[in-house]
Structure 1
Amino acid sequence: MSNTIQAIINLINRPQLELVDYYNSRHRANSEGGSLEEYIKDLYAGTFNETDENRRKEKIGEVFSYLGNDSNPPDAMLRGGDAIEVKKNESAKKDIQLNSSYPKRKLESTSSMISQDCRNAEAGEWVKDLLYVIGHVKNKQLKSIFMVYGDDYAASKDVYLGVKQNIKEGILNTPGLEFVETEELGRINMIDSLCITRLRVRGMWILQNPWKVFEYVTSLDTGKEFEFCAIINKVKYESFPEHEVLEELVGKKEGLAINDIEIKDPNNSKALIAAKMIRFSI
């Protein structure tokens, strides 16, 4: 079963940087964002060298239980493993556009934000750790990747849902407006005297880029051709059987370093969490 540490090992052993030309030549993606998502699939499935497209799809199908769509999170789910959300940026430290989906620590089968296909991808009710993968693409070249789990990046869902509820209550307490519950924040009817105008109230969530969030423990070297960083809390990191294999590559692979760090708890900035930081550069 594939996992994030195995994917990192695959990246270190075969860093493929020319995303768009590489993937478009194989007729798999028509945009840089799509190319990045295809790259991440290959990273986890170990299919960089697979030239038979049918065999590649077969291997990816063995690794992933769900491959996403443009409308709902996540972008992929590992079979029996984590959920993955991929975000492409044209600037290294640009904020992450989450749109109507607030930041998440976990992905749950009971979430109203996911599709029915995603909900039914694995049997029963499930809860998965959510990994954010932020890729910076410039001039058709992958410049950096930052991987971080929602547990180490986002607050508990009650924080975000509380804000949504406060906004709804503010609208409900406004005289003369009819508020209707929707999958978004809501809809306001009867705005004018003819009752012919409605207003959709939609959340547009924006998340600060992890290269900024974790500046207190690491920094981006823009002089490098490519930079990779993953920050994973120690408990999660040690749950991966392959973490010892990854550590054995330190000193053997140029540009690879693994450090013990402490990161701020997303629910309490004064508390610290033991974590591992994996850096790789070319």
Structure 2
Amino acid sequence: MTNILEAIATIINHPIPDLLSYKAFESFVKDAFANTIDEPELSKPEKYDEVFSWIRGNQNNPPNLMIRNGDAIEINKIKISSSQIQLNSSHPKSKLFSENPQITSRCRDCETWTEKDILYAIGATSDDNTKEKLKTLWLIYGDCYAASQEYYERIRAQIVSGINAIPDVEFSETRELGRVNKVDPLSTTSLRIRAMWLINHPSSVFDYLNTGYDPKKNFQIIAIMKESKYLSFPLDSRTKIESISVPGFNINTQSIKCPDNPDNLIPAKIITYKI
């Protein structure tokens, strides 16, 4: 079964010059985890079916990918100068739960699962639209990046309650924050009230860590996961990643702030690769 450690090893062994020549960032991430970067296009779907139980997610229905009996992967692409990442209607997640109403029934039923660790794969590309190069690949587990689900759900529930308490407004049931019908005298206009969640760029969230993040590098990977997560991977995968001996590669243990309580520190593995 594939995992983040296998994917990092695959990327190091198969560098690509730019995203335009590769097609799309999401395809690159998918091929990194499936180890199909060098595979002919016609043979990739069969390998994808072996590796992933779900590959059809979009911005409103997470996740983008689910590894069979493994992690969920949420993919975002931003410009390197971006200060925040748009998550649209989906709040940040420390874990992915099958009961989440934004998950489609097909995703919920694609394998037997109730909870998955979620990995954010965030690609930062150059600001030059004519030569869109992948500059940084952040691979961050949700439980290092986002608070527990109840923090976000409580805020959402309070907002929905406040909206529905507005007098003399006709609301209808919706999965969004609210929907107002018959806004104008002719009753021809409706108003959708949608959540647009954003999360700060990893370089600012983890600026207290020694990641060696350098926007001037041609390409870099920065992966952050709890040490307990790292140790949960198969020994073969850990041995493979620890045996990599190339310039610019480093793996170490540092303490990260607990997203639920920043006063608590958690041992984490930081894996970096820079060229």
TM, length-normalised to structure 1: 0.90
Structure 1 CA distance for aligned equivalents of residues 34 and 178 of structure 2 = 40
Query: What letter corresponds to residue 240 of structure 2 in structure 1?
Result: V
Indicate which of 120, 140, 143 corresponds to 1:148.
140
Question: Compared with structure 1, are the counterparts of its residues 141 and 132 closer, same or farther at alpha carbon in structure 2 (3 Å cutoff)?
Answer: same
- Within 5 Å, which residues of 2 pair with 1:74-89? 74-89=63-78
Q: List aligned pairs for 1:21-170, cutoff 5 A.
A: 21-23=21-23, 35-51=24-40, 53-70=41-58, 71-123=60-112, 125-138=113-126, 139-170=131-162
- Report the alpha carbon displacement of residue 14 of structure 1 after superposing the two structures with TM: 1.9
Code of the aligned partner of 2:51: V
Structure 1 residues 177 and 42, CA gap change in structure 2 (3 angstroms): same
Taking only the aligned residue pairs, the percentage that are identical comes to 43
**1:231 equivalent in alignment to 2:214:** no
Task: Quote the offset at 1:145 in angstroms.
Answer: 0.4
RMSD across aligned positions (CA): 1.6
Q: How far apart are 1:167 and its partner, in Å?
A: 0.9
Conserved 8 A contact 1:92-1:144: no
The CA deviation at 1:266 is: 0.5
Equivalent-residue separation in structure 2 for 1:220 and 1:260 (angstroms): 16
Give the deviation of 1:127 after TM superposition: 1.0
Q: 1:104, 1:157 within 8 Å by CA — same for their partners in 2?
A: yes
Instruction: Note if contact 2:163-2:178 (Cα within 8 Å) is conserved in structure 1.
Output: no
1:263 and 2:256 equivalent? Answer: yes
3-state SS, counterpart of residue 48 of structure 1: coil
Give the C-alpha shift of residue 200 in structure 1.
1.1
Q: Which residue of the partner structure matches residue 214 of structure 1?
A: 206
In structure 2, the CA distance between the partners of 1:3 and 1:176, relative to structure 1 (3 Å rule), is: same
| Residue 178 (structure 1) shift | 2.7
Report the alpha carbon displacement of residue 280 of structure 1 after superposing the two structures with TM: 0.2
Quick check: 1:2 aligned with 2:2? Answer: yes
Report if the CA contact (8 A) 2:164-2:178 is conserved: no
Amino acid at match of 1:248: S
Deviations 1:127-182 (A, max 9, x none): 11110010012222111100101111101111111111111121222221233331
2:225/2:270 contact within 8 Å kept = yes
| Per-residue deviation, 1:104 | 0.8
Aligned equivalent of 1:183, options 168, 171, 175? 175
- Secondary structure of the 1:117 match is helix
Following the alignment from structure 2 to structure 1, what is the Cα–Cα distance between the partners of residues 189 and 11?
52
1:244 is matched with 239
Long gaps (5+) in structure 1: 24-34
Q: Distance in 2 between the 1:209 and 1:84 partners?
A: 17
- Residue correspondences, number: 267
d(CA) in 2 for partners of 1:79, 1:221: 34
